[in-house]
Amino acid sequence: MYRTRQRGAIGIMAAATLLLSLVCLALVVDTGRLYLEKRKLQRVADMSAMETAAQSGLCGVQSAGGVQAFAQASAQKNGFPADGTLVATLGDVNFDASNTRRQFSPGGQWNDSVRVVADRTVASSLILNVAKVFGANVSTTTTLSATAVARREALGALSAGSGLLRLDSSNSPLLNALLGGLLGTSLSLDVVTYQGIAGANISLLSLGQQLQAAGVSLDLGSVDSLLGANVSVAQLLTAMVDAADASQVAGVNTALLRSSLASISVPTANLTLDQILSVVAPDSARDAAMGADVNLMDLLMATALVANKNHALTLDVTSLAGLSGVIGSVTLGLTVISPPQIAIGYPGKDAGGNWRTKATSVQVALNVKADIDLLNLHLVVAHINLGATVAQGYAALDSIQCGGVGRPVTVNVKAQPGVASLTISNLTLGLLGNGTSYLATATVNTSNATVAVAVPGEQPLTFLVDSPDDLPSAVQTVQSPLGSSLGAGLTSLSNNLKISVTLTPNGQKCELPLIGWLLCPLGQLLNGVVGGVVNSVADLGALLTDALGSVITALGNAIIDPLLKLLGIQTGILDVRLIDVQTAGAQLLI
C-alpha cells in the first residue's frame, strides 16, 4: 500500500530537476550572452576613446562636434550598431581626494582626455521572453553601458632666442668675454667648443641623474622635484656637461670646459631649475616631461643670465669693438632684467585665455660709454652714452597635430619679438683737448633721442617633424618690418637728434694763472665766433649731426648688435626653435 502511493514520485522530482536545470541553463546562457555583449560594447568604447584621443584633445580637434564625429566614426568601424547611443566628451583626468584613483571631469583646465560612453539596448532574458508570451507584464530588454577614458599626451619644448646665433671665429672672443663676465671667470674657449655645446642636447632625466650623483637631494623621475632642487651654479653647469651624450660633444675639450666652469664666481650662488625651465602639464602627466630634451647652449646661457639677474655687469670691450677714433676705453654695462626661460608643456591656451607653454627671451638693458674723436683730429671729442633696452619676446605652443604612420607631426607656434628702445643721454662734446682736458665743452640736446622699434602682433610658425632626427629643429624667425638689425633704429635715432650747441669755456682752465688768462679769452672768442656761425647757418650743427650719426651707427653695429645676438636677441626679431616633441600613443586611463 505504502509503496503503491509512492509510485511516480521520482518522475515528479525528475521533472522539477529538469525544469530547474533548464532555468539555470537559461540563466547561464543569458548571463554569458549579456557578458559578451557588455565586453563587445566595452571594446567598442575603448577603441573609440583611444582613436578619438589620438586625433583630438591635445593632438588636434578641440570642438565638441569634431570629437563626437571622430568617436562615432570609430565606433561604427568597430561594429557599433546604428541603434546604439554614443557620447564623446573632452575633459580632464585627475586623482580623487584619496590620491589613489583617477576620475574624469568634463571640460576643465586641460581638455587632454576623451571620455566615451556607449549605450545599447539588448534582449534581457530568454525566461522573461517566455513569460511575456504568457501575458506577464515584464520588460524584455535591458540597456548596457560602457565607459572608457583615454588620453594621448602631447608635449612640446621651445626656446625663444637663447643661444641660436651661428657661432664662428669672429664672435667667439666676444662670447668668451660675455660668458666669462656673467660667470665671474676668464674663458678662452674656441669656436669648436662653442659649436659642440650649441649642438648638444640633454634630457631632463639625465640632468637629474647627474645632479643626484653630485649630492643634490631630489626624487629622480619627478619633474617637480628636479625643478625645485636648490643647486649651485657650478653644480648645475658641471651636471649639464656630464649629462651631454659623448657622441654629441665629439671634438670638444670637455676637460677644459669643466675646469673653466669649476672656477666660476657669480653674485647668486644658488638657483632652482624652475627659474630656467617651465613645465606645464597636469599632475597625472607632468613627469612625462622628464623625457624631454633641452639644448646645452640654451641651458648654459640661461643659467649665466639667471645668476646675474638685476646685477649690473661692466665689461671693457675696447679691444673687441674695432672702432677707429676711440680716445679712451669703451665700456659696456649689462643688466639682466629678466632671464630667458625654456618652456615644456601642453599646447593651447588655458581657461583664462593665456598661453600654457610660452618660452621667453631675455630682457636686458645695455649701456655703452665711449669717447670718440669725431673729426679724427682731437679737435672735437664726443662723450657718448648709448643705451638699449630690449623687452622679452615670446614663443607660445599653439597646437600639435600628432600625425601617424606616414604623416609628420605638425607643431604650430605663435611668436612675437620683444619691443626694443634705443636712447642717447648725457651727450657732451669736448673741443681742442687731449682726451682728458679741453679748452671748451658743448652740450647736445638729446631730449628727443629715444627710438622704440615697432613690433607687430603674434606671427605664426609651423614646424614639421618626421622623425626624432629632425629635433632640435632649424631656427625659424619672426620679425618686425624694420629689418634684421639695429640699423633702422640707429638711423632713426641719429635723425632724431636735435643739435643745438652752446659753447662754454672750461672753468677749471680759467682758474689757472697765466694759462687761464691766455686761454679763457680765446675760449670766449671761440664761443662767440662759433655761436655766431651756428646761429646763422648751422654749419657746425650739421657737421656734428653727420659725425655723431656715423659714430652711433658704428657703436651699435660693432658692440650692441653682436652682443644682443649672442644673448639670443635681435631688435625686432625673435628666433624660435622647437627643441623636442613628446607624442606617445594613446592610452586608456579609466
* Whole-structure pTM value: 0.73
pLDDT tier for residue 521 given thresholds of 50, 70 and 90: very low
Kindly report, residue by residue over 17-55, the tens digit of the pLDDT. 887 887 777 777 778 888 888 999 999 999 999 988 888
Parse the chain into domains and list their residue ranges. Answer: 33-151, 155-588
Confidence (pLDDT) at 511? 42
Q: Which backbone phi and psi does 129 adopt, to 5 degrees?
A: -65, -40
Kindly report, residue by residue over 477-520, the tens digit of the pLDDT. 887 654 445 666 777 777 766 655 555 554 444 443 433 334 44
More confident residue, 311 or 103: 103
Cα-based distances in Å from 188 to 177, 191, 573: 9, 10, 29
- Among 302, 392, 357, which Cα is nearest to 580's? 357
- Cβ-proximal residues to 289 (8 Å cutoff; 6+ apart), any chain: 155, 204, 223, 279, 281, 344, 345, 582
- Helices marked H in 56-118: 64-77
Cα-based distances in Å from 253 to 191, 236, 246, 265, 302: 11, 19, 11, 22, 22
Confidence (pLDDT) at 148? 94
Percent of the chain as helix, strand, coil, to the nearest 5: 40, 30, 30
- Among 418, 400, 420, which Cα is nearest to 410's? 400
The chain-wide mean pLDDT, for the chain, equals 77
Cβ–Cβ < 8 Å for 51, 70: yes
d(CA 48, CA 65): 15
Task: Count the Cβ atoms, other than its own, within 10 Å of residue 461.
Answer: 19
Kindly report, residue by residue over 532-584, the tens digit of the pLDDT. 434 433 455 566 677 777 777 777 777 787 777 777 676 667 889 898 888 87
Confidence (pLDDT) at 525? 45
Q: How many helices, marked H, and strands, marked E, lie in the chain?
A: 17, 27
Q: Is the pLDDT of residue 321 over 80?
A: no
3-state secondary structure of 477: strand
pLDDT tier for residue 464 given thresholds of 50, 70 and 90: very high
Percent of the chain exceeding pLDDT 90 equals 14
Confidence (pLDDT) at 462? 95
**In this predicted structure, which of 58-67, 394-403, 494-503 has the lowest mean pLDDT?**
494-503
Kindly report, residue by residue over 114-169, the tens digit of the pLDDT. 999 999 988 777 666 665 555 556 567 788 999 999 988 888 999 887 444 556 66
Confidence (pLDDT) at 574? 82
Kindly report, residue by residue over 238-273, the tens digit of the pLDDT. 888 888 765 566 566 677 777 777 777 776 668 899
d(CA 13, CA 9): 6
For range 334-363, the mean pLDDT: 88
- Helices marked H in 487-573: 487-496, 507-510, 515-537, 539-555, 561-566
Confidence (pLDDT) at 164? 42
Query: Which residues are registered as beta bridge partners of 578?
Result: 158
The grid coordinates of residue 62 equal 578641440
- In eight-state DSSP terms, residue 404 is B
Looking up cell 629715444, which residue turns up? 450
Looking up cell 539588448, which residue turns up? 122
Confidence (pLDDT) at 108? 74
Q: Helix 172-183 crosses helix 296-307 at what angle (to 10 degrees)? A: 50
pLDDT tier for residue 174 given thresholds of 50, 70 and 90: confident
Q: Is the pLDDT of residue 527 over 70?
A: no
The grid coordinates of residue 319 equal 679691444
- Among 511, 547, 528, 530, which Cα is nearest to 427's? 547
Task: Count the Cβ atoms, other than its own, within 10 Å of residue 369.
Answer: 18
d(CA 382, CA 372): 5
Chain mean position to CA 39 = 45
Confidence (pLDDT) at 414? 94
Cβ–Cβ < 8 Å for 367, 386: yes
- Cβ-proximal residues to 297 (8 Å cutoff; 6+ apart), any chain: 162, 163, 194, 197, 198, 200
